[in-house]
């Protein structure tokens, strides 16, 4: 089966309050229309992916402030609008991220992206690795007795889809977990800022997207934030949204630089499945000696340490992140950095 995917990057002013989210959603719905209609003469666009922070970014330094001003429950009226658009156009939508609150975890704020199809809300992925120290939203890994799967994969007519958010992609274990859960398309919802974008010498954006495709024998569809410095200070966002095939070839990429852009490429699902079945060489998931790599206690981030996530007035601050990181550095490397 062949179809097209669209990686859409946005350039919105950074919302200061949840009442501003609706205008961003309105524009993203128009971008879906543009992608599907504009490329119809060439191939059917069936999947559309948006960047991290397309709805809201964690612009306040405490979880309490984020809950008060920006966070929303899911599902919500914005999800309903995406579902209606998915049904209208027979497409699947990986939304830009929301800052989410959940009554089950009243003190937590999650950075969450949703997969939506014609049948409704199919999955939500909550960022496992917040960008430390600045992001004060919660990792589900850190919450005691967290009840949902950390790495959900959805079986759809387009293949098995799994998403992860931005900094997650610097941890190969995240994408490997999605692959081992069955993912064939790895979707990156990202806000990767300069200088680590699509321009050498620090083009981590391109490097990690290609590496994750190769090591997992999977397609990568990566939508990056395109907001300018004026819109999202203190960072500028270099865009460069891209689609990569399972051999690490860039099929399409937006030119580096801020701005609203759509990049489209074809997916050949049958070719991917044939490669996974037939390759005896360079089939890293099949060759993986998982039990050869012991879990070192010094490398284990403490699960369940965010106990305030269960408290209605719970909080988490940049200072809390910094203190925990310093403890981890001392554990891993010692006082002199030599380990």
Residue-wise pLDDT tens digits, 146-180: 989 999 999 999 999 999 999 999 999 999 999 99
State how far the Cα of 264 lies from the Cα of 266, in Å rounded to an integer.
7
Q: Which helix (H) or strand (E) holds 311?
A: none
Tell me what pLDDT residue 9 has.
Answer: 96
Q: What's 169's domain CATH number?
A: 3.60.110.10
* pLDDT on residue 337: 60
Residue 339 has pLDDT above 60, yes or no: no
Residues 281-292: what's their mean pLDDT?
90
Position 53 in a domain: yes
Total of domains in the chain = 1
Phi, psi of 19, rounded to the nearest 5 degrees? -65, -15
pLDDT the model gives residue 298? 65
Residue 338 covered by a domain: no
- Of the candidates 219, 226, 221, 220, the one whose C-alpha atom is nearest the C-alpha of residue 240 is 226
Average pLDDT over residues 17-21: 96
Distances (CA, A) of 232 to 13, 36, 258: 7, 28, 11
162 occurs within a structural domain? yes
Provide the H-helix boundaries in 217-310: 269-278, 284-287
* Cα–Cα dist 263/224, whole Å: 11
What mean pLDDT do residues 9-24 have?
Answer: 95
Q: Can you tell me the distance from the alpha carbon of 194 to that of 203, in angstroms, rounded to the nearest whole number?
A: 9
pLDDT digits (tens, 9 = 90+) for 185-238: 999 999 988 899 888 999 999 999 999 999 999 999 999 999 888 888 888 889
CB 38 within 8 A of CB 4: no
pLDDT at 327: 85
Work out the average pLDDT over 276-289.
Answer: 93
User: Distance from first CA to last CA of the chain, Å, rounded?
Assistant: 50
Residue 225: what pLDDT? Answer: 95
| Range scoring the smallest mean pLDDT among 29-43, 193-207, 322-336 | 322-336
299 pLDDT higher than 80 = no
Domain for residue 322, yes or no? Answer: yes
DSSP per residue over 104-154, as a string? TEEEEEEEEEEEEETTEEEEEEE-SS--TTT--SPPGGGSTT--S-SS-EE
Whether 122 is in a domain gets the answer: yes
144-152's contacts with Cβ under 8 Å and 24+ in sequence apart are: 144/304, 144/306, 144/307, 144/309, 144/310, 145/304, 146/105, 147/104, 150/126, 150/177, 151/125, 151/177, 151/178, 151/181, 152/123, 152/124, 152/125, 152/181
Buried-exposed string 80-111: b where 16+ CB fall within 10 A, e elsewhere: ebbbebbeebebbbbbbbbbbbbeebebbbbb
- Asked whether residue 276 is domain-assigned, the answer is yes
More confident residue, 242 or 335: 242
**pLDDT, averaged across the chain:** 93
Is the Cβ–Cβ distance between 209 and 219 less than 8 Å? no
Average pLDDT over residues 34-48: 97
Is 70 exceeded by the pLDDT of residue 338?
no
Whether 310 is in a domain gets the answer: yes
Rounded to whole angstroms, the Cα distance separating 135 from 321 reads 8
Residue 339 belongs to some domain of the structure: no
Full domain range(s) for residue 329? 2-333
pLDDT at 44: 97
Give the range among 37-41, 195-199, 251-255 with minimum mean pLDDT: 195-199
CA pair distance 54, 123, nearest whole angstrom:
18
Is pLDDT above 70 for 336? no
**Once rounded to an integer, what is the mean pLDDT over residues 124-152?**
94
Nearest to 109 by CA among 162, 72, 146, 55: 72
pLDDT at 181: 97
Percent of the chain with pLDDT strictly greater than 70: 97
| Token pair in block for residue 99 | 């800052």
The kind and range of the H/E element at 309 are none
Entry pTM: 0.95
């Amino acid at each position: 089966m062949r179809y097209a995917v669209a990686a859409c990057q946005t350039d919105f002013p950074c919302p200061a309050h949840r009442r501003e989210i609706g205008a961003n959603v309105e524009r993203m719905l128009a971008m879906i229309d543009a992608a599907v209609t504009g490329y119809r003469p060439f191939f059917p666009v069936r999947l559309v992916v948006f960047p991290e922070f397309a709805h809201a970014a964690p612009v306040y330094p405490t979880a309490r402030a984020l809950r008060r001003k920006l966070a929303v429950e899911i599902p919500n009226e914005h999800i309903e609008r995406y579902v209606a658009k998915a049904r209208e156009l027979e497409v699947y939508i990986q939304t830009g991220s929301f800052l989410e609150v959940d009554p089950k975890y009243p003190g937590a704020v999650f950075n969450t992206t949703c997969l939506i199809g014609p049948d409704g809300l199919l999955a939500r992925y909550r960022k496992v690795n917040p960008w430390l120290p600045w992001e004060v939203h919660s990792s589900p890994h850190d919450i005691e007795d967290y009840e949902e799967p950390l790495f959900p994969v959805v079986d759809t007519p387009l293949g098995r889809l799994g998403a992860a958010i931005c900094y997650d992609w610097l941890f190969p274990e995240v994408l490997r977990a999605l692959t081992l859960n069955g993912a064939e398309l790895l979707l990156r919802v990202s806000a990767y800022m300069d200088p680590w974008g699509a321009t050498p010498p620090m083009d981590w954006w391109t490097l990690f997207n290609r590496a994750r495709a190769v090591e997992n024998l999977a397609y990568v569809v990566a939508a990056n934030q395109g907001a300018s410095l004026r819109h999202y200070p203190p960072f500028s966002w270099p865009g460069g949204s891209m689609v990569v095939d399972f051999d690490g070839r860039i099929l399409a990429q937006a030119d580096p630089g801020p701005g609203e852009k759509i990049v489209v490429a074809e997916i050949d699902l049958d070719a991917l499945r044939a490669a996974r079945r037939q390759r005896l060489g360079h089939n890293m998931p099949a060759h993986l000696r998982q039990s050869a790599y012991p879990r070192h206690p010094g490398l284990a981030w403490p699960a369940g340490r965010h106990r305030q996530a269960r408290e209605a007035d719970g909080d988490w601050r940049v200072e809390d992140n910094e203190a925990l990181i310093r403890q981890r550095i001392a554990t891993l490397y010692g006082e002199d950095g030599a380990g």
